[in-house]
Structure 1
Amino acid sequence: MAGGRREPAGSRLATVAALAVVVVAPLVPGVLSAGSPAALAGLPVEAIAVVLLLLALPARRARIAVAALFGGVVVAAAAFAALDAGFRATVDRPFSAADDWPQLGAAVGVVADAITPAGAVAAVVGLVALLVAVAVGLAAAALRAGRAAHSSGRQGRLIAATLASAWILAALLGAHPVPGVPLAAADAADTIATTSSRAVESVRDRQEFERALRSDAAASLPPSSLLAALHGKTVVVAFLESYGRSAVEGSTFSPGVDAALAQGQAVLDRTGYTAESAFLDSPTFGGVSWLAHSTLQSGVWIDSQQKYDRLTTTGRLTLARAFGDAGWRTVAVVPSNKGPWQVGSSFYGYDEMFDSRTLGYRGPAFSYARVPDQFTWQTFHDRELTPGHAPLMAEIDFVSSHTPWTPLPSLVPWSDLGDGSVFTAQAASGEAPVVAWQDPKRVQQLYGESVQYTLGALFSYLETYGTDDLVLVVLGDHQPARIVSGAAANHDVPITIIAKDPTVFASISSWGWDAGVRPSSDAPVWRMDAFRDRFLAAFSPGSGLTG
């Protein structure tokens, strides 16, 4: 009732809907964070506060400003909660507003590979428009709820005051109508506060990071001892995309990967190679592979894009630069790169870099993985391992096991590779990502098959082209996304050293790694940033460096 007149039924329904929106919307961040609708059982302080303020403020502009602030805060909190949930599900850490904005661009790039660039742009524009529309709608709902409370006179003020008192009492008593869900809810406010606090922690973490950058015992290693135990060897650091611990143990797809490793071990036994394996704790999870690459090479923990950007402006000694200083030719093969990679030379110190433009591949793209791993091996071998080649160190990124894991290539005779056109039929007959990703079990199966292909290409290369002077460091960059690795998966990735020369393994005898290409469940686990110094110490006798 207002002035003795009853509101039209449609107007009353609109008012009830507005009140419901004002009450429910601030609870959405809690629903997103918990992954459960149970958070809707709370009484949101944000809704009570906005109604009380709208009742108290006489000026129309002030009420509009308060309603707009309410809409903006709730939408921002929901967006932060969604990003946080997404980061936890993919890279296994919370979203940091101070560090992670650049990674959203990388995520858009992956989406573009799956649904076309135009589709990705349309999705981003649509999402931004939706967020703005929701914020405006929330503000309008708050204004209507405020008007309804005001027009109800003393009764409206009494209801608002009663709800505020109930919230305070519930907070004091710690009331939980649903286990784990407080009645006195403040989900939107808590999300904004947590996001802000996390940003402050990120700033402190970066200060610690700067101190770590300034401390580098390896920087003063004398060239005469640097990597002397590997003199005359061809050393290849082979990163296998998304090759995580879940690939080799405790999953529905690990038996297939284990079978591929067993077949690979048989190849090594036939061809005279030895292998030792362990695990590394990666700084990233589910994606952002370059953080792992830079951590391994620099000996510094790089777990954010900001740290990576800062690191690559320094003169920190990388493994590649150490090999270069010791007389090796250094090469990077990065099939996923589509343009110039400046830090490859300015920071890592590579003499030569190959990417999707320069590998000579003329076959089809397999979603994100533009170049099949087998073709990458062949091109590297043909261009760099010619008879009488100079001592060589290379990092090669093998991307066929990159999400979305479909379509997948399969091995062909090495003599048939040509310019890659042989893969055309394989890519055309593969399953589309938008179809496969409707079924988590199918995604897991495809992931396992992609790792089996990548391992098969590796062992087939060794059987076909392996040489006595080759030393391989084969490792994963990170675990696959949670949809594959599961909620309890850690950040461990397998690492294996493969060589024929027994002196290589004598140099690392103190490491205590497992024999063979599959690390056992109790194999040693190192942080990935520890590898550089331990590697340099093991193969630089007399340097005095301890790893």
Structure 2
Amino acid sequence: MRIWRRWRGWREKYPVAARTLAWTTTALAAVLVLVALHMPNKAEGFRPAEFIRLPVEAIFGAALLIVLPRKPRIAVAALAGLSLGALTVLNFLDIGFNEYLGRGFNLVLDWALFSDAQAYLQDTMGKKGTLLIVVAAVTLVLVLLAVMTLAVVRLGNLVARHNETATRTTLVLAIVWVLCAALGVRVSGVPIASEHTTLVVQDRAERVRNTLRDEAAFAKIAKSDAFADTPPDQLLTGLRGKDMMITFVESYGRSAIEDPVMAPGVGATLASGDEKLRKAGFAAKSGWLTSATYGGSSWLGHSTFLSGLWISNQQRYRTVTAGEHLTLPGAFKKTGNWDTVGVMPGVQKGWPEQKFYGIDRLYDSRDLGYKGPKFSWSTMPDQYALTAFERLEHGKKHDKPLMSTIILTSSHQPWAPLPETVPQDQVGDGSVYDAIAKAGKKPGDVLTDSAQSKEEYGKSIQYSVTSLIDYLVRYGNDNTVLVFLGDHQPIARVSGNNASRDVPVSIVAKDPKVLDEIADWNWTDGLRPQQDAPVWKMNAFRDRFLTAYGSTPHP
């Protein structure tokens, strides 16, 4: 009450200033509501023409608030403001997801990704920086919800105080809206008569319905498997005796090979890799796969490739990994002729999916003996991870050939600092990388600069591919077969808006029979697939691979 009395006293003492402040506040409230009603969910949608339209939701809202009594009016205005604030938050989430993952925010499934985002920020910005970002984000959301609610309540009170004027104005605006809609009036190609918020709400509701329907449909799809009942002696007969390596290169996308900024460096690395392989007696064939994910969520790409199912969201991932669908490592294990090994330096805690994938022995970041620095999110350089694999598994004597699933992480965003290749005899426990990490660029500087992001991303792919090819040339033998691919394209600010989801995939071997078996795939010779090389959906690879190498379907 004391504050209210002071405010009234100030208003009576300075009436002009009080009126100016009141009308300024009202104008700001109106602008805030109009911006929220027109707000796009993609960064490129922020054009002046988008914000000069006439929103039908504002007209209906004003009409409703005019006729309601005081208490219901305030309640409805508060609810409308809170809802508009929540919709604005979701639009911001859409913008972020479109920027990084090439898709909008899934209201049902994507909440679980915030813990991964927090872990990524900690690795990139440190704990203090992450805490500040989280606090700022939560504060911004709360302030936005509160301010939007107060803005709508204020506008509702305004139309109630000026009932006649508000009624006439609302009627005129309604007539103008109908005429503009009927005549198709546009400014800079944008229709003046807007129903943007209504369409956005309808779209979100449809996405929720589709997600819920998809869960039920996919559960049935996941139970169907062309090779589920194939006897062990009819699986992978064309690869018996071979040491298999399936290796994912983080964010190795089509953009790395075709974008004008990254392509020269990556192309030179692939050409150099081809030459190294040729001298060592290896050959390669390459094509394109369309990943189920984009910009992140690498595990969706891994599971799609290995299971032969289209795993495009977290719910599908949970469904398939809770079942017994046959994976590529699982197929090798089922034969009884291979030991299955996983090398996953990006895994930093328990990983229950090991059983689903059919991996006998798993080496995560805690098992590889690394004593050097982290390189932002990546726990260790790829060269070290491959060296540890050689020391712990591949270089030892085995009763059976190995089937190894390896996930390389050095090309994970934000691509700073980046590791460098060191002489193989100096890798040791990884301490050699201390000076390299200290001399590298800061993650924050690269992540916020699109040009630097592209340059450093290209360098990271060069490093990862070089590390893998050097390992193969050094430690591979006549029975080594390598399949390597990208899990997804890099984020949109690197790959570009509306970039494809294609990633390169290569099969490398010394035994010419291995590549002869896929001659009808029409893949490109070498590590660099031609632009017009075949493009398959990533989930198609499993069945094609199993069939090419002697597996008999038994649904």
Give the TM-score of the pair, scaled to structure 1: 0.94
Alignment equivalent of 2:248, drawn from 239, 254, 258: 239
- What is the letter of the counterpart of residue 109 of structure 1? A
Q: CA RMSD in A?
A: 2.0
1:498 maps to 508
2:69 maps to 58
Q: Matches of 2:66 and 2:187 in 1, distance apart? A: 29
1:122 maps to 132
Check whether the contact 1:32–1:78 (CA below 8 A) recurs between aligned residues.
no
Bigger shift: residues 159-168 or 303-312: 159-168
Q: Matches of 1:229 and 1:431 in 2, distance apart? A: 47
Q: Matches of 2:466 and 2:80 in 1, distance apart? A: 56
Q: In the alignment, does 2:391 pair up with 1:382? A: yes
Task: Spell out, residue by residue over 1:143-175, the C-alpha distance to the aligned partner (whole angstroms, 9 max, x if none).
Answer: 222222222242232112222332233233332
Indicate how the Cα distance of structure 1 residues 242 and 101 shifts in structure 2: closer, same or farther if over 3 A, else same: same
Q: Matches of 1:106 and 1:413 in 2, distance apart? A: 34
Q: Matches of 2:42 and 2:321 in 1, distance apart? A: 39
Task: Spell out, residue by residue over 1:264-292, the C-alpha distance to the aligned partner (whole angstroms, 9 max, x if none).
Answer: 11111111011111111111111111101
Alignment equivalent of 1:482, drawn from 492, 504, 508: 492
Alignment equivalent of 1:18, drawn from 19, 29, 33: 29
Q: Matches of 1:59 and 1:132 in 2, distance apart? A: 26
Indicate how the Cα distance of structure 1 residues 439 and 274 shifts in structure 2: closer, same or farther if over 3 A, else same: same
Within a 5 Å distance, the mapping from 1:375-524 to structure 2 comes to 375-389=384-398, 390-524=400-534
2:7 maps to none
Bigger shift: residues 13-22 or 419-428: 13-22
Structure 1 stretches of 4+ with a deviation exceeding 6 A read none
Note the C-alpha offset of 1:32.
5.2
Q: In the alignment, does 2:377 pair up with 1:368? A: yes
Bigger shift: residues 200-209 or 307-316: 200-209
Corresponding residue SS for 1:472: strand
Task: Spell out, residue by residue over 1:354-413, the C-alpha distance to the aligned partner (whole angstroms, 9 max, x if none).
Answer: 111111001000001111000011000111123432311011000100100110010111
Q: Matches of 1:17 and 1:324 in 2, distance apart? A: 65
1:170 maps to 180
Corresponding residue SS for 1:265: helix
Q: In the alignment, does 2:342 pair up with 1:332? A: yes
Indicate how the Cα distance of structure 1 residues 503 and 153 shifts in structure 2: closer, same or farther if over 3 A, else same: closer
Note the C-alpha offset of 1:80.
2.2
Q: What percentage of residue pairs aligned between the two structures are identical?
A: 41
Bigger shift: residues 104-113 or 366-375: 104-113
Note the C-alpha offset of 1:31.
7.5
Which runs of no fewer than 5 residues in structure 2 stay unpaired? 1-14
- What is the letter of the counterpart of residue 312 of structure 1? T
2:322 maps to 313
Check whether the contact 2:348–2:364 (CA below 8 A) recurs between aligned residues.
yes
Q: Matches of 2:274 and 2:285 in 1, distance apart? A: 11
Q: Matches of 1:55 and 1:387 in 2, distance apart? A: 81
Indicate how the Cα distance of structure 1 residues 291 and 516 shifts in structure 2: closer, same or farther if over 3 A, else same: same
Task: Spell out, residue by residue over 1:218-243, the C-alpha distance to the aligned partner (whole angstroms, 9 max, x if none).
Answer: 11111112112111111000100011
Bigger shift: residues 328-337 or 15-24: 15-24
Q: Matches of 2:41 and 2:386 in 1, distance apart? A: 48
Check whether the contact 1:239–1:474 (CA below 8 A) recurs between aligned residues.
yes
Corresponding residue SS for 2:49: helix
- What is the letter of the counterpart of residue 24 of structure 1? V
2:196 maps to 187
2:166 maps to 156
Indicate how the Cα distance of structure 1 residues 379 and 173 shifts in structure 2: closer, same or farther if over 3 A, else same: same
Bigger shift: residues 186-195 or 217-226: 186-195
Check whether the contact 1:334–1:356 (CA below 8 A) recurs between aligned residues.
yes
1:82 maps to 92
Corresponding residue SS for 2:296: coil
Corresponding residue SS for 2:506: strand
Task: Spell out, residue by residue over 1:406-427, the C-alpha distance to the aligned partner (whole angstroms, 9 max, x if none).
Answer: 1001011111111100000000
Q: Matches of 2:55 and 2:172 in 1, distance apart? A: 14
- What is the letter of the counterpart of residue 194 of structure 1? D
Corresponding residue SS for 1:166: helix
Q: In the alignment, does 2:184 pair up with 1:136? A: no
Q: Matches of 2:151 and 2:345 in 1, distance apart? A: 51
Check whether the contact 1:30–1:188 (CA below 8 A) recurs between aligned residues.
no
1:28 maps to 39
Corresponding residue SS for 1:217: coil
Check whether the contact 2:42–2:94 (CA below 8 A) recurs between aligned residues.
no
Indicate how the Cα distance of structure 1 residues 500 and 57 shifts in structure 2: closer, same or farther if over 3 A, else same: same
- What is the letter of the counterpart of residue 508 of structure 2? I
Corresponding residue SS for 2:485: strand
Q: Matches of 1:374 and 1:438 in 2, distance apart? A: 27
Q: Matches of 2:157 and 2:397 in 1, distance apart? A: 85
Q: Matches of 1:466 and 1:186 in 2, distance apart? A: 62
Check whether the contact 1:514–1:523 (CA below 8 A) recurs between aligned residues.
yes
- What is the letter of the counterpart of residue 360 of structure 2? D
Q: In the alignment, does 2:259 pair up with 1:280? A: no
1:214 maps to 223
Check whether the contact 1:280–1:492 (CA below 8 A) recurs between aligned residues.
yes
2:4 maps to none
Q: In the alignment, does 2:142 pair up with 1:106? A: no
Note the C-alpha offset of 1:76.
2.1
Note the C-alpha offset of 1:545.
6.8
Note the C-alpha offset of 1:257.
0.4
2:49 maps to 38
- What is the letter of the counterpart of residue 84 of structure 1? D
Give the TM-score of the pair, scaled to structure 2: 0.93
- Equivalent pairs counted in the alignment come to 538
Note the C-alpha offset of 1:303.
0.4
Check whether the contact 1:150–1:157 (CA below 8 A) recurs between aligned residues.
no
Indicate how the Cα distance of structure 1 residues 252 and 31 shifts in structure 2: closer, same or farther if over 3 A, else same: closer
Bigger shift: residues 22-31 or 510-519: 22-31
- What is the letter of the counterpart of residue 331 of structure 2? A
Corresponding residue SS for 2:504: strand
Which runs of no fewer than 5 residues in structure 1 stay unpaired? none
